[in-house]
Amino acid sequence: MPATSDRSARLIGDCGLVVQEVDGVEEIEIGYLIRRDLWGQGLATEAAQFCRDYGFSQRGFDKLISLLHPANIASRRVAEKNGMRLIKEMKWRNKPTIVYAVERSNSAT
């Protein structure tokens, strides 16, 4: 769900739910990307939490994941603030990747 700021009407980022294949299994990923000049304002966390709540309450998903580069500490923090826990490290699309996950029964919704 793209969002724009009131001042410039420029896109500030992207966040949403997307189907990803991980180890031969379809998973629902919460993906997020915020413009670098807006980092540190909690925008990714707020958007990711909205997507988590929507995924569980409106779409009925039992589990949601986030696929992250291991060195991306900021994205790891967003996932952790979203109630997610690191569940594995792997190669995904030929890149080092860590998988964070949250289950509906363990979420704050």
CATH topology (fold) of 3-106: Aminopeptidase (3.40.630)
Domain limits, the chain? 3-106
Summarised one tens digit per residue, pLDDT across range 14-65 is 999 999 999 999 999 999 999 999 999 999 999 999 999 999 999 999 999 9
Q: Is the pLDDT of residue 76 over 70?
A: yes
The total of other beta-carbon atoms located within 10 Å of residue 34's CB is 22
Chain position carrying tokens 């969002």? 3
Residue % of the chain over a pLDDT of 70: 89
Q: What is the mean pLDDT of the chain?
A: 91
Summarised one tens digit per residue, pLDDT across range 82-99 is 999 999 999 999 999 999
Per-residue pLDDT band at 3 (split at 50, 70, 90): low
Alpha carbon distance, N-terminus to C-terminus of the chain: 20
Residue % of the chain over a pLDDT of 90: 83
CA distance 98 to 95: 10
* H or E element at residue 90: strand 85-92
Per-residue pLDDT band at 105 (split at 50, 70, 90): confident
